[in-house]
Chain A
Amino acid sequence: MTDIRILLVDDEPDIREIVDVSLGLDREFTTRACASGADALVTAAEWSPSLILLDVMMPLMDGPTTLANLRKNPRTAHIPIVFLTARTQSSEIEHFISLGAQGVLSKPFNPMTLATSVRGYLPPSVTHHVP
């Protein structure tokens, strides 16, 4: 079976748990969660996820800063990033995309379809992997 690794970064433990269950509805997903941007930098470099779901408003290191730092490290620079955010004005979405994010998903999200939405942002090389 394909192993599609999704790294979730969110400072809210409840949201981490719900996203974990939601993504678990897709049998091919393996999810890990980080509570801060700083943790995410370490875990992303070690674990090489297929995609990172990134909260925007976090204390200390916010989502856009985390993205910038991930892009600086050659080991994490290529990983697709999707923001998961409570701010979804269209101008803000454009701003996030201009920072280099693959997409933006809004909170609150539909937990039954979150995994499908995330799949849409995976590069073909990941989804069409031959075991």
Chain B
Amino acid sequence: MSAKKQMSTKSIKAILLIEDNPGDVRLLREMFNDHGAHDAELTHVDCMSAAEKHLVEHAVDIILLDPGLPDAQGLGAIRRTHAAAPRLPLVVLTSLDDESVAEQALQEGAQDYLIKGQIDVRGILRTLRYAAERKRLERLKDEFVSTVSHELRTPLTSITGSLGLLMGNAAGNLPTPMARLLAIAHTNSQRLVRLVNDILDIEKMEAGRVVFSFSRVEVRTLVAQAIEANRGFAEGYGVRVRLGEALTAADVRADPDRLLQVVTNLLSNAIKFSPPDSEVVVAIEKGVDVVRLTVRDHGQGIPVDFRPLIFEKFAQADAGDARQKGGTGLGLSIVKQIVDRLSGEVGFADAPGGGTIFHVQLPCWDHVASLAIDREAKTDATRLLLCEDDLDTALTLRAQLRQVGFATDFVYSVSEALARAEATQYHAILVDINLPDGDGVSLIVRLRELPQYRDTPIVVVSADTNPGRDDLRSSKLNVLDWLTKPVDFDRLVRLLAKSVVRNANRRPRILHVDDDNLVARALGEIADVVTVNSIEAAQRALKAGDFDLAVLDVELAKAASPDLLPELRDSKGNAIPVVVFSAHGANLADDPREQAALAKSHSSIDSLVATVRDRLASRLASVSGR
């Protein structure tokens, strides 16, 4: 095991309290202070997004969560906390009347809960220590399972290898009684291999270490493949597997390897629980926006008591089942975990005439593809391209970005990203660094090779805090920032607002009040410029049209300030930002709207243009955000 620092129960130093009720916060703080919990520091945030941000930026030892927050409630709050900090112990605060939340919290991975109004000082410290210790043990268990499973594979390789060679007559023909005994050993060694594989799979999935590669999958072909692969297994049980009604044009968005695992597990489950000489029928149907796959058996059905537990780990209807059926008790649990990650749904029902029907529903490809283009946002909104292979993450981020006025199209792969970027001019691009058909860095390299994306703002969004992030930020690829998931949304919006220069439909307009032609020409490269040399002309220009920015010579501005400055508004009444350009470095210190003052004699025209571009960017972003 690595030399990672294991948190001891004595070292609870940083407690994060996520609670929106100021009274409860005060109460808890007082308790900690009164008890002289000397080395423990209590930090408080009042919503989930602030908690997520805090967890990214600060070291925390334990989390105290009230799951009734303005931006996250109940199970959702618990899941988000767990997603933001899967390795931290979590204690949930509940009120007397919602102990059901407490129960769900424990199922979702919380270590303990406290009931508000019944908390005392000694109790809370004991609970925190206990929760931290419990979490530590859970982690040790997970690491242990992973190590042991790897270690088991080595002797298993020798055992299955030797038996396989003997059974294949590689060491000469075997007398029949000996062959039968070896066959038993061989079959069971293979079962042990499956068990180890299943345990490893589930442990990896629970720890969030399985990377899914999404693509377009034709369900019919995949099912046929799974049936073929399980033919021998079915024959062993005297069961026939048949593909029943199956649409040909039923494509879904999934990871083909993982979906094959789902179908295989459902098939082997159905086969094991079928009576000899019966039939297992697989069907593929299409619903609204989903493809539905069903596996029907003619077994005895699932006992009522067992139904709520069926997707639990090591769950089997009765203890004798495992031995009798040769299962691991993990198959359906793995199915559930995978289907969840595929943004799908799995369930079961009694089949008419006996037996059980399991179904899996997955988002159909056409539906997902139609989601990719943001059609609900305003047509003139600033349009972003999000390269993200997780559908749920993409949809959540789009919904958030839409609220602040951005339109977001998304793609799942490097190849799609390049095709879309060439078809539409995007104003900024968000790239997840782990994409199924290549990495995000190579996507950025290829985007930068396209002339129309040479300067487009690019932000990396990634689940890992990759050590390469600083290299990437400082490299020539000109990546604005590397944001870690869960994304700090406020920071993302600030970044976009600052960097997205061009608006979809028009060039920015500048009112230039000066008589310097050189400046006018330079500004003309980044905007439409109306140059006037008197206050009266400026006033006329303001009446004729909207401007995004005014650039004023200080002498004119001073003379004008009582008359002109109040008039510097667009047709909606919003104040227009002002950049003052002066011969002496003087400025209009009294006017809060003045955004930048530059000395003509000292600053080059280039730096004026840079300043103006910067002001325009934040101006346009805030306008498009309205």
Question: Which residues does A use to contact B, with CB under 8 Å?
Answer: 12, 14-15, 18-19, 21-22, 25, 57, 86-87, 89-91, 107-112
In the assembled complex, B466 has its CB within 8 A of some CB on chain A: no
Given the contacts A21-B170, A89-B204, A91-B211, A111 and B165 also touching, CB distance less than 8 Å = yes
Q: How many angstroms from the CA of A21 to the CA of B167 in the assembled complex?
A: 13
A-B contact pairs, 22 of them (CB 8 A): A12-B157, A14-B155, A14-B158, A15-B154, A15-B157, A18-B165, A21-B171, A22-B165, A86-B157, A90-B213, A90-B257, A91-B211, A107-B153, A108-B153, A108-B156, A108-B157, A108-B160, A108-B193, A111-B161, A111-B162, A112-B168, A112-B170
Given contacts A14-B162, A15-B157, 14 further A-B contacts (CB under 8 A): A15-B154, A15-B161, A18-B157, A18-B162, A21-B170, A86-B153, A86-B154, A90-B211, A108-B157, A108-B160, A108-B193, A109-B157, A109-B161, A111-B170
A1 smallest CB distance to B (angstroms): 20
**Bound: A111/B157 CA distance, A:** 10
4 tightest CB-CB pairs across the interface, nearest first?
A18-B161, A86-B153, A14-B158, A112-B168
B147-178: contact bitstring with A at CB < 8 Å (1 yes, 0 no)? Answer: 00010011111101110110010110000000
CB of A112 to closest CB in B, whole Å: 4
Q: From residue A65, how far is it (CB to closest CB) to chain B in Å? A: 18
Chain B, Cβ-Cβ closest to A91: B211
Could you say which residues of chain B place their CB within 8 Å of the CB of A19? 161
Which secondary structure characterizes the binding site on chain B?
A: helix
**Cross-chain contact B150 with A87 (CB below 8 angstroms):** yes
Q: How far is the CA of A122 from the CA of B111 in the complex (A)?
A: 53
B375-429: which have CB < 8 Å to A?
Answer: none
Chain B residues within an 8 Å CB radius of A21? 165, 170-171
Q: Please name all residues of chain B whose beta carbon is closer than 8 Å to the beta carbon of A87 when the two chains form the complex.
A: 150
In the complex the two chains form, is A107's CB within 8 Å of B164's CB? no
Residues of B within 8 A of A25 (CB): 170
Distance between A21 CB and nearest chain B CB, rounded to angstroms = 6
Say which residue of A18, A89, A112 sits within 8 Å of B158 (CB atoms): A18
CA distance A24 to B163 in the complex (A): 16
Q: Most chain-A Cβ atoms within 10 A of its Cβ — which of B162, B164, B204?
A: B164
Query: Residue of B at shortest CB range from A112?
Result: B168
Give CA–CA (A109, B170) in the complex, Å: 15
Complex Cα–Cα for A19 and B193 (A): 18
Q: Which residue of A lies closest to B159 (CB)?
A: A108
Question: Which residues of chain B come closer than 8 Å to A12, judged between CB atoms?
Answer: 154, 157-158
Residues on A with beta carbons closer than 8 Å to the beta carbon of B193: 108
Expressed in whole angstroms, the minimum distance between the Cβ of B201 and any Cβ of chain A is 10
Query: Which residue of chain A has the shortest Cβ distance to B255 in the bound complex?
Result: A90
Task: Give A18 to B155 CA distance when docked, in angstroms.
Answer: 12
Size of the B side of the interface (Cβ < 8 Å), in residues, is 21
CB proximity of A53 to chain B, nearest CB, Å? 13
Query: In whole Å, how far is B3's beta carbon from the nearest beta carbon of chain A?
Result: 18
Interface residues of B (CB under 8 A from A): 150, 153-158, 160-162, 164-165, 168, 170-171, 193, 204, 210-211, 213, 257
If A86-B157, A89-B204 touch, whether A112 touches B165 (CB-CB below 8 Å) is yes
Minimum distance in angstroms from A87 CB to a CB of chain B: 7
Instruction: For B204, list chain A residues within 8 Å (CB).
Output: 89
Smallest distance from the beta carbon of B414 to chain A beta carbons, Å? 14
Specify which of A15, A18, A89 lies most central, judged by the most chain B CB atoms within 10 Å of its CB: A18
CB closest chain-A residue, reference B149: A86
CB-defined contacts of B153 to chain A, threshold 8 Å: 86, 107-108
Contact A112–B157 (Cβ < 8 Å):
no
Known: A14-B158, A15-B157, A86-B154. A110 touches B213 (CB 8 A): no
* Residue in chain B with minimal CB distance to A87: B150
A15 adjacent to B211 (CB under 8 Å) = no
Q: How far is the CB of A24 from chain B (nearest CB, A)?
A: 8
**Nearest-CB distance from B196 to chain A (Å)?**
9
Q: A18: nearest residue on chain B (CB-CB)?
A: B161
Residues of B within 8 A of A91 (CB): 211
Q: Are B157 and A107 in contact (CB under 8 A)?
A: yes
Contacts of A18 in B (CB 8 A): 157-158, 161-162, 165
The distance in angstroms between the C-alpha atoms of A14 and B156, with both chains bound, is 11
Closest to A85 in B: B153
Q: For B157, list chain A residues within 8 Å (CB).
A: 12, 15, 18, 86, 107-109
Residue of A nearest to B167 (CB): A112
Among A86, A89, A108, contact of B161 (Cβ-Cβ < 8 Å): A108
Contact in complex: B164, A86 (CB < 8 Å): no
What is the CB-to-nearest-CB distance from B349 to chain A, in angstroms, rounded to a whole number?
33
Tell me how far the C-beta of B401 lies from the nearest C-beta in chain A, rounded to whole angstroms. 29
Which residues of chain A are within 8 angstroms of B164 by Cβ–Cβ distance? 110-112
B442 to chain A, nearest CB (A): 12
Please measure, in the bound complex, the distance between the C-alpha atom of A22 and the C-alpha atom of B162, giving whole angstroms. 9
Q: Is the CB of A111 within 8 A of B156?
A: no
- Cβ-closest chain B residue relative to A21: B165
- Tell me whether A15 and B168 are in contact (CB under 8 A): no
Q: Please, which residues of chain A bring their CB within 8 A of the CB of B154?
A: 12, 15, 86, 107
Q: Which residues of B contact A86 (CB under 8 A)?
A: 150, 153-154, 157
| Closest CB in chain B relative to A93 CB, distance in Å | 11
Determine how close the nearest CB of chain B comes to the CB of A104; give it in whole angstroms: 14
Residue of chain A at shortest CB distance from B156: A108
Give bound CA distance, A90 to B214, whole Å.
13
Given the known inter-chain contacts A12-B154, A86-B150, A111-B170, please indicate yes or no for A22 contacting B161, CB distance below 8 A. yes
Q: Which residues of A contact B158 (CB under 8 A)?
A: 12, 14-15, 18
B113 to chain A minimum Cβ distance, whole angstroms, is 35
Cα distance A14–B257 in the bound complex, in angstroms: 31
With both chains docked as a complex, state the minimum distance between the C-beta of A125 and any C-beta of chain B, in angstroms. Answer: 29
B587 to chain A, nearest CB (A): 56
Residues of A within 8 A of B211 (CB): 90-91
Chain A residues closer than 8 Å to B162, beta-carbon distance: 14, 18, 111
The residues of A that contact B171 with a CB separation of less than 8 Å are 21
Q: Which residues of A contact B150 (CB under 8 A)?
A: 57, 86-87
A57 to B494, CA, bound (A): 46
A12 to chain B, nearest CB (A): 6
Chain A's closest residue to B166 (CB) is A111
Kindly provide the distance from the CB of A14 to the nearest chain B CB, expressed in whole angstroms. 4
What's the least CB distance linking A82 to chain B, in Å? 16
Q: State how many angstroms separate the Cβ of B32 from the closest Cβ of chain A.
A: 43
How far, in Å, is A59 (CB) from chain B's closest CB? 13
Cβ contacts under 8 Å, A15 to chain B: 154, 157-158, 161
Point out the residues of chain B lying under 8 angstroms from A57, CB to CB.
150
**Which residue of chain A lies nearest to B209 when distances are taken between CB atoms in the complex?**
A89
Distance A27 CA – B430 CA, assembled complex (angstroms): 56
Q: What is the minimal beta-carbon distance from A15 to any residue of chain B, in angstroms? A: 6
Chain A residues within an 8 Å CB radius of B161: 15, 18-19, 22, 108-109, 111
Chain A contacts of B155 at CB under 8 A?
A: 14
Taking the nearest CB of chain B, how far is it from the CB of A54, in angstroms?
Answer: 15
